[in-house]
Amino acid sequence: MKNYKLEISYDGTRYYGWEHQPDQMTIQGKLEEVLKRMVNQEVEVIGAGRTDAGVHAKAMVANVHMETRKTEKEILEYMNRYLPEDIMVTDVREASERFHARYKAVGKLYTYTCYCGDLKPIFERKYVTVLDFKPDIDRMKKAAEYLTGEYDFKSFCANPKMKKSTVREVDSIEIVQRRDKIYFNFHGTGFLQNMVRILVGTLLEVGKGSMTPEDVKGILEAKDRTLAGPTAPAQGLCLMKVDY
């Protein structure tokens, strides 16, 4: 039985996230469904992360152990033939037996996109969050400085019953405006449930003037989710890259 590394792009709009959910359509479920048909046995597709419902990915990485006579190219072609139109496998290659998409990952890059133009972004509405105000970029950049580094991000975790450590390292937060779009680029070793979306929601509160950059430092230290900003909508978030 060989171990295969997959790179996958998907539009998460109509899915209930990556991970299996009872009676719900998920990315992991669709991938396993197609591979099960291909090899005629149960398979488990292990993803580098567990994106939430409605979140997209340009380069999710996964691995799967399976027995097949098909070449890497044939596996890729088979999967893309039978996967729905909003999921695409961009690369298939045999990996070492010990490769594990989640445990071997050393970093991830997420991008959150906001739109602050005057006209409705009709053709991009599934991939951006539309703002009804124009945030102050400099204020948000100053606030982001307090969030860069290794800290306990409990205030930015959606799971109040999290038993494992909520310490994470965010090594860079880049906020860039290009015309009517604002991009928040987060790179870190790993992220908690809804963490990026809560960070964006909090930074937007700073950009709106409802919080000061210094407030963010206090929120981080308080380890209290109720003090942070709202969870930004899912459609603006995309997993861009996984590092190994």
Token pair of 89, please? 């496998």
d(CA 95, CA 108): 20
Q: For 96, how many CA atoms within 13 A lie in the half-sphere containing its CB?
A: 4
- How far is residue 146's CA from residue 75's CA, in Å, rounded to a whole number? 45
- In the set 11, 52, 138, 224, the catalytic residue is 52
232 DSSP β-pair partners: none
Burial class from Cβ neighbours inside 10 Å (0-12, 13-18, 19+) for residue 32 reads: middle
What's the CA gap between 9 and 190, in Å, rounded? Answer: 19
Residue 52 designated active-site? yes
> Known catalytic residues?
52
